[in-house]
Chains A and B, each alone.
Chain A
Amino acid sequence: MTIQISIDGKQITTTAGKTLVDVAAENGIYIPTLCYVKNKTCLGTCRVCSVKVSGNVMSACTVAVSDGMKVEVDEPEVSDMRKALVECLFTEGNHNCPSCEKSGRCELQAVGYEVGMVVSRFPYRFPVRERNHTSGKIWLERDRCILCLRCVEFIHDAESGKKIFSLSKRGAKARIEIDTELVESMSAGQVKVAANLCPVGCIIEKGHGFNEPIGQRKYEKKSIRERAVAKNNNE
């Protein structure tokens, strides 16, 4: 059913039930996301895509558009809220962009630039997180994990369909686990897919890194905003 909504005052004709973040992107309006992957199940874990829908704060990746919906993206209060959420993600982990091999390809870093984060208003927690480097193929650098759950939901063993990653514990102690047996059966291509799916430098390919020169890394060639609003944004 064709409907009318407005985003930041712009009148948009679209189809009822589509995801708000996609509708915005199709109309050239960028809403930052981290856990969201187009054409995949909404996770709604990071809340970085928070916008105001008819005055209420909602995550744009979990909202299905409906007729007459009034959406505010570029609004001071909710813009600052998104920025604060990104700051929280930086302060809750141990993110060392200068030496991280995901730098330049990292969605958290790219979104940090997009929301204009320079420093965090929150104190750094410096959590103690155990790495898992027992696998021969994947290094799990939990310091950088933002618990988006992309890996948990979207990476499965090719044969059995079992999950390779899982979530353990709760709250501040929650962490990603890796099935050390299943991971050994992953193909090189699947490892690469998993590493690229991780929006930060938590899942990294063992022994690889820094192969792309500065200036030619993913978000240096084309910003995360440009990629999101491009017509073919499946990269």
Chain B
Amino acid sequence: MGRKLVIDPVTRIEGHGKVTLHLDDNNNVVDARLHVVEFRGFEKFVQGHPYWEAPMLLQRICGICFVSHHLCGAKALDDIIGVGLGSGVAMLPAPEKIRRLGHYGQQLQSHVTAYFYLIVPEMLFGMDAPPEQRNILGLIEADPELIKRVVALRKWGQEVIKTVLGKRMHGISSVPGGVNKNISAAERDRLLYGEDGLLSMDEVIEYAQEGLKIFYDFHEKNRKQVDGFADVPALNMSLVDDKGNVDYYHGAIRIVDNDKNIVEEFDYHDYLSHFSEATEPWSYMKFPFLKALGREAGALRVGPLARVNVTGSYTTPLAQEALEKLHNYTGGKANNMTLHTNWARAIEILHSAELIKELLDDPDLQKESLVLPADGKSWTGEGVGVVEAPRGTLLHHYRAGREGNITFANLVVATTQNNTVMNRSIRSVAEEYLGGKTEITEGMMNAIEVGIRAYDPCLSCATHAVGQMGLVVSLLDASGKVIDEAYR
């Protein structure tokens, strides 16, 4: 008699989801699924609203990567009024750099949240550690100095966001064609040199390097487990600049295969020609794929691991050094090791910090020319915005009527792009850790969650509820009858 294991809800992620594992009579895994069990509906209820309010409404979809949603929406609005890249118009230097500054600040704080608060507990204590230890409170007890630095690092990222957008969360910076304020010299100096209770730029870079070292130490001690954990194939996608290197704010969409050969590269405005989406009755999350390759072969990975697989290099020295080490590890091939996503994430924290430093040294931030005005004739009524959000390639596509009302909205969020590869990871971990086992331990179930957390999924694209989510594991027979349950 086969049985079904359920993890509901999955913990320490953003949003609400559950995992079901179907085992046959010999306890071999026959199916593994990540279900997204909530529905939002932003694409529908933004319709009818004035187009210039859309980025403010849609950034509320997420409490972590709201800047990405804000910027995606802003880029789409640039297109709609005819001063965007869709019309071949480049943004003025100052507003683009100010947008980038907010974006990098968010990437830093988002990655710090995911990496230190949600992922590092297993790296320090192990997947089998007691649940009451492997969390942020356990970290505070084990290494209070580390957590003080982590809190300070995250705070600094939040202050970058606040400087640009006016608030640490859900602020407003971008308007169609530009931004609504520049960065004063005093604001710049506060971030560069710090103040009482706020790190300096150099300290941020130092702390980011320490974060990377945590991964190196963990990897050194657990090389076999880390490298063998959910080594699953997928194509890798990222925005790239004209040199083929990752650009978190803008570029062409590039997709590479396991040998890092370019499978496709295209202007993101043409995304509908390249992507399709499959649906399943058991999840509210769709399964995007490349049309040309079909659902299985065309499944994509996005996010930190995909980006380091796509990019040739970085422009900043410390991150470049770390990137080379990661690249050399797989000898020129794409890296498919799911837990190496955390390695890539730690590198991106450092990369973001270095990029911010470059921007803060740029006098364009103090310029007064902040908006590219549009005349009524340039109106196109349609726009697509894409950025590399912390979790991967994020896309907003709007259409607006000539009267200014939004008539269509399509959001393709990074976690959606990762849906198939996350399910592959779950299946891989389930087969390795649970397959053939008669007794299911708490640590085995946690391994499944570790695989999911590596992607830092934002299932609702909303604030996560760390500390409030219990775990229920139900054992059901083939007829669906519950034969055993465990709670934590």
Binding site for B on A (CB under 8 A): 96, 98-101, 131, 133-134, 139, 141, 204, 206-216
Contact = CB atoms under 8 A, between A and B. Distances in A.
Given A131-B405, A133-B403, A214 B50 contact: no
A98 B56 contact: yes
Contacts of B171: 214
A137 to B, nearest CB: 11
A133 B405 CA distance: 8
8 contacts: A99-B53, A99-B57, A131-B48, A133-B50, A204-B50, A207-B52, A210-B172, A214-B165
Contacts of A216: 181
A106 B165 CA distance: 20
A215 B166 contact: yes
B180 A101 contact: no
B170 interface: yes
A101 B165 contact: no
| B52, B81, B176: most-surrounded residue (chain A CB, <10 A) | B52
Contacts of A215: 166
Contact of B175 (A100, A131, A141, A209): A209
A143 to B, nearest CB: 9
B481 interface: no
Contact of B403 (A98, A134, A210, A212): A134
Contacts of A134: 403
A212 B370 CA distance: 13
Given A101-B50, A209-B53, 5 more contacts: A131-B405, A133-B50, A141-B50, A209-B175, A213-B166
A216 B172 CA distance: 12
Q: Which 7 A-B pairs have the closest CB atoms?
A: A214-B166, A99-B57, A213-B181, A99-B56, A133-B403, A209-B52, A99-B53
**Range for the number of chain B residues in contact with chain A:** 20 to 34
Contacts of B167: 214
Contacts of A100: 53
Nearest to B60: A98
A204 B175 CA distance: 16
A210 B56 contact: yes
A98 B52 contact: no
B62 to A, nearest CB: 13
A17 to B, nearest CB: 44
Contacts of A141: 50
Given A133-B403, A133-B405, A134-B403, A210 B175 contact: yes
Interface string B21-45: 0000000000000000000000000
B404 interface: yes
A134 B181 CA distance: 31
Nearest to A100: B53
Contact of B180 (A96, A139, A204, A211): A211
A210 B405 contact: no
Contacts of B49: 99
Nearest to A211: B180
A98 B167 CA distance: 12
A104 to B, nearest CB: 9
Interface in B404-436: 404-405
A156 B277 CA distance: 53
A210 B180 contact: yes
Contacts of A207: 52, 81, 176, 404
Interface in B44-98: 48-50, 52-53, 56-57, 60, 81
Select the residue from B60, B167, B171, B172 with max chain A CB neighbours within 10 A.
B172
Contacts of B165: 214
B88 to A, nearest CB: 21
Contacts of B57: 96, 98-99
Contacts of A99: 49, 53, 56-57, 60
A213 B48 contact: no
Nearest to A208: B52
Nearest to B374: A207
A101 B52 contact: yes
A100 B56 CA distance: 8
Given A133-B50, A209-B175, A98 B170 contact: yes
Interface in B318-372: none
A100 B404 CA distance: 15
A195 B173 CA distance: 22
A210 B50 CA distance: 13
A6 B364 CA distance: 58
B50 A213 contact: no
Contacts of A204: 50
A212 B405 contact: no
Nearest to B371: A211
A212 B56 contact: no
A211 B405 CA distance: 19
Interface string B154-188: 00000000000111001111011000110000000
